[in-house]
Amino acid sequence: MGRAFVYVILGGGVSAGYAALEFTRRGVSDGELCIISDEPVAPYERPALSKGFLLPEDPTRLPSFHTCVGANDEKLTPNWYKEHGIELILGTRVKSVDLKRMTLVSSTGETISYNFLIIATGARAMKLEEFGVEGSDAENVCYLRDLSDANKLATVIQSSSNGNAVVIGGGYIGMECAASLVINKINVSMVLPGAHCMARLFTPKIAAMYEDYYSAKGVKFIKGTVMTSFEFDENQKVTAVNLKDGSQLPADMVVVGIGIRPNISLFEGQLAMEKGGIKVNSKMQSSDSTVYAIGDVATFPVKLYGEMRRLEHVDSARKSARHAVSAIMEPENTGEFDYLPCFYSRFFAFSWQFYGDHVGEVVHFGEYEEGKVFGAYWVKEGHLVGTFLEGGTKEEYETISKVTQLKPVVMDMEELEREGLGFAERV
């Protein structure tokens, strides 16, 4: 025995919330759509967890950040789903999927069948154990992917005031959490394997600007090494972190941000995969025509660069969700997903956005100082392909996004550097 739906969204994160809103706007009927999530709450804006959620005063809490407030759209509270006849099955993990039978089996043993399935399972945080380090389930070691992780982190922060934190990883989680820890009056050491923070995107010059600011706030960067083990007290709480270079860092708490793995295991052997994600076409449709994939889990064609990409950012989760729903409900009116990659972050009073592709030669512009506007252009084969901007206005971000999509010809790199933001405004 089980239930049957026309549309099932598997996963209840960012992309699920945006897909649900799009379904209602395109006229889904009562009882046709169901969302199954192992999280106990309705879809929310995950980016809030490393930002407002960790503030010492007046922290952001649900229901204030349910999707789709991050895109200045409707806030979908649990009641909203009820009013729109959408079945929200929360706290329920899907254990198996049979794509031939078009059924899912949940952790409660229920079988749910569908006509169309949207995979929105996102990703999981990589564990230190995958790198041979044991003990990361200690009560003062924190990962950050979902609300329960964020609750644990907020509690551990409260009990570590004026103490020492070690942040493992210098990516998005590392940088955003380190800033939040400083704001919470915790001394921070960051351990990163590369030569600088945010090595996947930042140039050495961009990284140096932010690292200098963090250092002035007391953050200690330990670069070019990794942690090898923890020291524990008699209660199995971590007391120190041992590094490969032989040094030891005292720790009242640890935050780990060492990357993610997409949640694709339910579909291995059933769907075509590429670049660690579920391979979809320009309609977000997988190798099974009744199954779509959106958000972090989807590897889709980025038309602008003629390449398959899997992105791990909220803008692509939101837009791929809307596109998939449009392709399912109005296939004849839905063209190819023509997506311009967009990444952003906020820490301390800084706020930056990046559009496009970070390949080729780089030109920096602006004043690389706190409170000033600065940025960089990436130029490949004579065309501008990527733009980074810190401290821009809404209009300036719109301008760089439009220009980057156009891939304008760049004749003279020195002139581009001199013109800076003026180049984008002129094109």
Alpha-carbon torsion (171, 201, 228, 135), positive or negative: positive
Does 391 bind ligand NAD (CB under 6 A)? Our answer is no
Per-residue x/- marks for ligand FAD, 270-309, CB under 6 A? -------------------------xxx------------
Separation CA 186–CA 391 (nearest Å)? 26
Instruction: Please state the length of the chain.
Output: 427
Per-residue x/- marks for ligand NAD, 94-133, CB under 6 A? -------------------------------------x--
- Considering CB distances under 5 to 8 angstroms, the limit depending on partner class, which of ligand NAD, ligand FAD, ligand ISD, none binds residue 226? ligand NAD
Separation CA 80–CA 328 (nearest Å)? 22
Does 69 bind ligand ISD (CB under 6 A)? Our answer is yes
Per-residue x/- marks for ligand ISD, 27-46, CB under 6 A? ------------------x-
- 418: DSSP letter: H
Phi/psi at 304 (5° precision): -55, -35
> What stretch of H or E contains 356?
strand 350-356
Task: State which of positions 99-158 bind ligand FAD (CB under 6 A).
Answer: 120-123, 144-146
Does 33 bind ligand NAD (CB under 6 A)? Our answer is no
Task: State which of positions 259-298 bind ligand NAD (CB under 6 A).
Answer: 259-260
As given in the structure block, the two tokens for residue 317 are 């989760």
Look at strands 103-106 and 94-98 and give their pairing. Answer: antiparallel
| Residue with the CB atom nearest ligand FAD in the bound state | 13
Q: Are 128 and 255 in contact (CB under 8 A)?
A: no
Cα 163 off chain centre by: 28
In angstroms, the Cα distances linking 105 to 87, 123, 273 are 16, 20, 22
Does 343 bind ligand NAD (CB under 6 A)? Our answer is yes
In angstroms, give the least distance from the CB of 36 to ligand ISD: 23
Contact residues for ligand ISD (CB under 6 A)? 45, 47-48, 51-52, 60, 65, 69-70, 314
Contact residues for ligand NAD (CB under 6 A)? 50, 131, 168-174, 176, 192-194, 199, 226, 257-260, 312-313, 343, 345
